[in-house]
Each structure stands twice: as structure tokens, then as C-alpha cells.
Copies of this chain bind each other. A is one copy, B any other.
Amino acid sequence: MTDTHTYCVKLADQALAASRELMSVPGSVRAQALRIVADLLDKNAPALEAANAKDLEAGRQAGLASSMLDRLKLDAKGIAKMAESVRQIAAQTDPVGQVIEGYVRPNGIQLQKIRVPIGVVLIIFESRPNVTSDAAALCIKSGNAVILRGGKEAVHSNKMIADIVSQGLREAGINPHAVQLVETTDRAAVGELLKMEGKIDLAIPRGGESLIRAVVEQARIPVIKHYTGNCHVYFHSEADHDMAVKIILNAKTQRTGVCNATETLLVDRKAADAGLLAKACQALADKGVELRGDEATCKLFPAARPATPQDWDTEYLDMILAVKVVEDIDQAIDHINRHGSRHTDAIVTRDLAASQRFIQRVDSANVFVNCSTRFSDGGEYGLGAEIGISTDKLHSRGPMGAADLTTYKWVAMGNGQVRS
């Protein structure tokens, strides 16, 4: 690719043309395309495994960390899961065409706010090849054209998945430019695409914080960000002790490498003094969690290591938990709003007023009462597959499904009205 700019303009123009066509492709055809893609994924599983093996081999030679190789790997089970996910997305209710609001104005004009596809979406992601099929499926389900830019370590896997999707689209009679993979490894391509106002409507970066920062820095088109999560659980003075321990164990240890795992435990002074802090810390330590506490915590649970100021801002994604004693609910809320990442924060309490205060004042996408932060997830919310979890406040907040890839248009039906 000698001319990255020309290549990117071509991709964007093709995507825009495909998106215009998709506007009038019925939901049944979009769903049928996805079912064909799912079947093709199953049918081509051995070839896809072979393509993936090439990526794994190149990764090993390049000295990729084992966790990276693990995320990159596609086996028969993983491919079956990808196909199943595409089938589930196909089976969802079609968001396109839903009437969000509708009313008649005094002058007789009938006004409706109708859900329509956004247009052209750019998704920039790292390592995991299953994002290719998930993102493509969610975009087609919602009537959008998508440009996919995957990590270079997954180049063979992504290419094969994209080819399978193209074939599925063609067989269903949909313009295959509706799903295009960026096939140059020139890093300048992302910067070019992020400036194509009027052709690309939205960028969604999925990956580590440095990737997301780089996208925001370069973008002149809207970006929905999915920063990772520094989630909190707060034990209120009126917390049920058994429930509190059960919730923090789950929130911290059920899976650690994910954005909805809890990273800081806040314990109300009264609950701490009543033995809840030591009880919870012991249960966590028994599970192998390293505890980093403030002074009050280390006093009540001497096995904890002293926390440093950075601990309150750290997303460990590991078996480590920061623990802090707070004087009251307002100090807990203030700590969360100051150090959290506006992702998911939970209170454990039996007190109604405390739950209401927490819900109202914690400025996060997901605010939970008496349940684990691990429920912050598109699947758990009943949205089906998710395109990510937005920590932004604009357009979509929290887990995003197919409906979050739509916008609306205002349609006015008149019979000759003019304005006076």
C-alpha cells in the first residue's frame, strides 16, 4: 500500500455507499446474513484454526507474552462460541425502525422520532480475533457499515473472519463493503480514518488505555470510549455482614482480569469496628488476595500491606485489593467520585436512605445496591452481545448493545403546513 490516504478514502467511500444501501435492507435480510455467517464460521473452523496457528507462531517468534498469546488463540471451542454469538445477535429484536416517541403537534403535523442506523462505524481493537465477528455482527444487526482495524498480531485470523463475513453478506444479497477490514499495517491509516468527518460517523476503540488515549488525541469524529474499570464496593454501616463478604469475594475473585472486577473496598468505620473489615479481609486472604490497606485497615487486619496513594487509582486486574476505612457514606461517595473511573460501584446496606443517597450521588455508569460489580455486562443486562462498556456520558453509558449503535431521525408528516 504505497498511498495510505487514497486507500483510506476508498475504504470510507465504499463504507458510506454500503451504509446508504443498508438503510433500506429489511431486518429479516440482515438477520439471514448473520445466520449464514455463523454457519460459515462453523464450516470453516479447521481453516480458521490453521490461520490462527500462523498468528500464534508469529507471536511466539516475536516474543509475545503468554497472556497475549492466550487472548489471540482460537480453538474449535472458541470458534463454535463465535458462531453462537453471531446467531444470538441475529435472533435479537431489530432496533431499526422502532418509534422512540411520536405525537401530533397542534398544527396537525405528525412527529415521530424513529430509530435508524448511525451510518459508518470504525472499530479499532487489539488481539482478540472474536471481536471481528462480534463487532461485524452487531453493526450489521443495527444496519451500520463497519470498518474494522484489528491488531497486527491477529492479521491472519482477522482476515479469514472478515472474508467469511463478506461471503455471508454476499450470499444474503448485501453489499460486502458493509464490513471491511483495514488491510494495511501502516499505522498512519488509523489517523487518516479518524479524521474522515462526514464519511465515518463514530469511532469505538477497544483495548488498553494507551490505545484509547491515542484515538482520542487523533480523532476529529465522535469517539465512544471504553476505559477500563476502577470499581468499588462500599460496606455501609448497616450492611449485612454475610452478604457483604459474599459480594466482595465474588466482585474481587470470580474473575480478576476484567473491567467490572472490584479494585477497592471501602468499609464504613462502624462496620469495620463491628468486625466486618477483619472478617472480609480474612476471607479474601484465604482466597489468595493480596490486601493493601490504609492505616485503619492495617490496624484491624495486620496482615494487610500499607497502601500507597497510587493504590486508590490503580486498576490491578489481579488478585490484589485496596482497602480503606471511611467515616461515613459521604466520604465513601467522595472517594469513589474522585478515584473511580465512572464504571461500576456498589453499596452493601440494609438502609433505604443510604441506598438512595449512594444511587443519586455516585457519578458512575452503573450503580449497584447489594449485588456484585461483576453483573455490569451486556449479557447480564439482557442486551445480548455487547460492543463494549462506555465510561463516557454521551450517547451511551455502560454496557452497549445493538440499539446503542443506532441514532434517530425526526420524521414530520404534514398536509401542506407552512410556518407563520
Binding site for B on A (CB under 8 A): 20, 23-24, 103, 105, 109, 111, 118-119, 197, 201-202, 216-217, 220, 222-224, 240, 243, 246-247, 249-251, 254, 337, 355, 357, 359-361, 363-372, 374-376, 380-382, 392-395, 397-399, 407-420
Within the complex, the shortest CB–CB distance from A259 to chain B, in Å, comes to: 14
Bound Cα distance from A394 to B222, whole angstroms: 7
A361-B24, A393-B118 are known contacts. Are A409 and B372 too (CB-CB below 8 A)?
no
Within the complex, the shortest CB–CB distance from A251 to chain B, in Å, comes to: 8
A–B complex contacts, Cβ < 8 Å, 25 sampled: A20-B363, A23-B360, A103-B382, A111-B381, A111-B382, A119-B363, A197-B216, A216-B220, A222-B392, A243-B415, A250-B418, A365-B409, A365-B410, A366-B412, A367-B412, A368-B411, A369-B412, A371-B416, A371-B417, A372-B417, A372-B418, A375-B412, A375-B417, A380-B419, A397-B410
The dominant DSSP class at the A interface is: mixed
- Which chain B residues border A368 with CB–CB below 8 Å? 411-412, 414
- Which chain B residues border A355 with CB–CB below 8 Å? 413
Bound Cα distance from A59 to B111, whole angstroms: 42
Q: How many copies of this protein are present in the complex?
A: 2
Q: Are A254 and B372 in contact (CB under 8 A)?
A: no
Nearest chain B residue, comparing its CB with the CB of A399: B410
- Which chain B residues border A357 with CB–CB below 8 Å? 24
